Structures are given as structure tokens and as C-alpha cells.
């Protein structure tokens, strides 16, 4: 199975605990190579960030990055586990 890369939004809300983000993944757009994802992200970062913040207006910040779903899922689980402790 080929690894797919996605642009992941790390959203921060006023009520976020200890600056732990909420992860949002648009699975409709993916890239076969990490370098492709980074290129698209860097070329369109401003517009993508504005789009994410308009879709999630309660978010105070959005940080965008490229990663595969396995890594994003591990990060999400770590964030959830840290909130439970």
C-alpha cells in the first residue's frame, strides 16, 4: 500500500487545554509524495489557513502541516491520552 500525504490542520481554540490542538484532515485531497504536499502547502499556505479558519470560526489559530494518516492518528491519540492524565 502506498503512503498518502495530507495537509493537516492543527486547530487551537480558546478552551484548548494546555495548548493541545484539535486535528482536522481533508481526506479528499492527498499527495503521493511528501515533497508534493509540502510544495502545495507552501504555495497556498495563506489561502488554506484563511479557508480553515473560516470553516472553523471558533478556532483562534490554525497551523498547517503535511503528514500521512498513520502519523496523524498517532499524534491524535497522544493528545487524547495526555488530556486524560
Q: Where are the domains of the chain?
A: 5-84
Q: What is the pLDDT of residue 82?
A: 59
b/e code 35-57 from CB counts within 10 Å (16+ = b): eebeebbeeeeeebbeebbeeee
pTM for this model (two decimals): 0.81
Q: What is the pLDDT of residue 66?
A: 96
What CA–CA distance (Å, rounded) separates 75 from 30? 19
pLDDT in tens, 31-58: 999 999 999 999 999 999 999 999 999 9
What CA–CA distance (Å, rounded) separates 47 from 55? 12
Amino acid at each position: 500500500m502506498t503512503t498518502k500525504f495530507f495537509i493537516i490542520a492543527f486547530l487551537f481554540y480558546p478552551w484548548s487545554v494546555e495548548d493541545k490542538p484539535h486535528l482536522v484532515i481533508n481526506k479528499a485531497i492527498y499527495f503521493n509524495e511528501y515533497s508534493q504536499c509540502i510544495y502545495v502547502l507552501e504555495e497556498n499556505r495563506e489561502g488554506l489557513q484563511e479557508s480553515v479558519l473560516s470553516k472553523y470560526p471558533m478556532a483562534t489559530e490554525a497551523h498547517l502541516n503535511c503528514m500521512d494518516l498513520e502519523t496523524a492518528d498517532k499524534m491524535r491519540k497522544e493528545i487524547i491520552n495526555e488530556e486524560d492524565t
